[in-house]
Chain A
Amino acid sequence: MAKAVNELIIDCLEGKRMAQKELYQLYAPKMLGICYRYTKTLEDAEDVLQEGFVKTFNNIKQYKGNGDFGAWIRTIMVNTAIDYLNKHKKYKKELQLAETALYVASNETPEIYLDTKDLVDLIRKLPIIYQLVFNLIAVEGYSQPDVAELMNTNINTIRSRYSRARTILIEEIKKQEEVQLNYYAK
């Protein structure tokens, strides 16, 4: 019978490998879903997942037990993903690109009929800089000043990036839904 999360955490504190594995098995699918949203390939997402869990187990003593453990791991995964993007050339270069294009911000709030996987894939199609900001703000619920601090940039840049990401995504969602509608109409 599976142990409760709290018991697993206590066992993990003692370095018990079986408990670590159980905890991993419990949280890995959800965490991989998160990592996947931040990266461009599944391999990269798995790399982030791996690094994230190593950090989790190495720092599990820091978990005070006063919050949801899943949320704690999620924070580690998000931070690991940001580190990963900053560390790897293919992402780093793109992250450092300055926005040049002018755009019209969208204030639309469309209904989303796409299934989750399609929606995630659309987020992942965003340029990495927008993908990151969108994930942090729209999905994780970080505030714009927090993201600005996290990314070491000013709030206007973040506001601009988020607005741009949101606009692109809404356009893409509409396009995708249209394609699907046409497909089913046929």
Chain B
Amino acid sequence: MQNKFEDEIQKQLDDFTLTPSNKIWGKIEANLDSNEHRKFPIWWFSVAGTIILGAGFWYYNTLSNTKNADNTVKITNKAMRINQNNKPTNTIIIATEEHTTYKLIKNVGATLIAKPTSNNKRVFSQPNKTASTNNSPNTSNKLNAATKINSPIDDFKIKSIKEDYTANSNPSLLNPSKQNAIVAKIQSVNKYEDLPKDSIQTNESSTSVASKDSIFKKEAVVINIKHKEDSITAYNKKGKFMITIGSGLINILSKSPVYSDALSSAADPNNNPAMSTNERTTSSPTKGFSIKAGLVYQQPLALKWQLLVGLNYLYIQNTQSVGLRKDSINLSDDGHYFEAGYQSNLINYAHIVQAPLQLKYLLNSHSKHPFYLLFGGNVGYQLNSKWLVGANSNTILYYKKTLATNFVASTMLGFGIAINDLSIDITGHQSITPLQNSNYSKKYLQQLSLDVNIPLNFFSFNKQKK
């Protein structure tokens, strides 16, 4: 196909060149920089993703272990065997430590998981029925009516196999209605005020019956299960205030080059403090730290959902080493003196007041230490900040407070665990508005934070416990 014409064209055009405008390299550099910075959140989110998937897998495993064909829980496997052998018609109630979740399982053994309020030992009485309890966590022997299960209150997980109350009930223990029932330990009767009235009803008169069996008054009730549903759920609707303290790592993501030709952030490769005109790089140290403190209000919305709102103070800081070109003008800007040809350390910082708005999803609400996911965002206001912006073609350096944007918003994703009323969160934040906005550089904040939330009544509560 090639002929003389094409050959001629190729020959002529082979040497055709044009000089690109000066700004092109800057744009390429900015693009390469943002690509480099983008690696961080990808890595970050992949770690977060792995953890979330792992947690999901763990949760799924826990859940699938606890389920059987009757929508009951794992602990009922033991009871199910009893069921097969003795055909009891008992009820199982599983309650969380805060008595927020109850699951009623029909026609199996009776189990309660609950957390008591005092250090006293509690004695639970078994009804007059002997059952095969080879799988009981408390004993491998057969239980009989005389068996008493002593549980240290602080580690009170009744995994006792209750007998068939209906068919073989001890009348003194059961309420008069003779419905399926279980003696349940709760923190106080008041705890049940928020429960749906049509699902669980406390029976004060039964409390006194129970007290005969060494169950302390007002600390135990008999719960009558009115509705024999497979699952009854309720949650404590009372919100609580928490103090938040936290610390973390930050990454400042620049959408465009921080530096112009006047600057360099890298040390001179020849260990010569004087920067040579040609030794410049745009890679900039952007990592730093954050400190946070504030107050958060947590309001349960549903069994597994909680809303958190609050007010935090956030301080972020990073340090960068900046070299000014030899041929630059020595200058002092906003109180900081820069000497041309030398490295100079700058501290970038921001004081931010922010209001978090977060949703918490409990993965295992029935657990003593619920694991949860967090997502939401923050809106904030930069009270005071100072960022290195860059330098213009006249080598004038900008390191100013004034170019910061006051309003900052960010998205948030994380997870956490509640341990003994404390909740520990690990969250990742990505700002959606720039911290600093100028023609030279827009800076976005990425933050990985470890926070501890302490309920306001935590200290008094622990004191009480002692």
Contact = CB atoms under 8 A, between A and B. Distances in A.
Interface in B12-26: 12-13, 15-21, 24-25
A109 interface: yes
Give the interface residue-count category, chain B.
Answer: 20 to 34
Contact of B280 (A18, A37, A45): A18
Interface string B267-311: 000000000001111110000000000000000000000000000
Nearest to A32: B18
Interface in A112-145: 112, 116-117, 119-120, 137-139, 141, 143-144
A141 B10 contact: yes
Given A17-B281, A28-B24, A58-B32, A120 B1 contact: no
B42 interface: no
A176 interface: no
Contacts of A20: 28-29, 32
A141 B2 contact: yes
A46 B21 CA distance: 8
A50 B9 contact: no
A111 interface: yes
Contacts of B19: 29, 32
Contacts of B459: none
Interface string B28-58: 1101100110000000000000000000000
B3 A109 contact: yes
B32 A119 contact: no
Contact of A120 (B3, B13, B35, B282): B13
A15 B27 CA distance: 17
A50 B9 CA distance: 26
Instruction: Label chain A's interface by main secondary structure.
Output: helix
Interface residues of A, number: 41
Contact of B17 (A32, A45, A53): A32
Contacts of A42: 18
B16 A33 contact: yes
B1 A144 contact: yes
Contact of B31 (A28, A36, A54, A138): A54
A112 B12 contact: yes
A119 B17 contact: no
Given A29-B20, A54-B28, A119 B13 contact: yes
Nearest to A134: B9
A112 B13 contact: no
Contacts of A138: 5-6, 9-10
A170 interface: yes
A53 B29 CA distance: 10
Contacts of A54: 28, 31-32, 35
Interface of A: 15-18, 20-21, 24-25, 28-30, 32-33, 36-37, 42, 45-46, 49-50, 53-54, 57-58, 108-112, 116-117, 119-120, 137-139, 141, 143-144, 166, 170
7 contacts: A28-B24, A46-B20, A50-B27, A57-B32, A109-B4, A119-B9, A138-B9
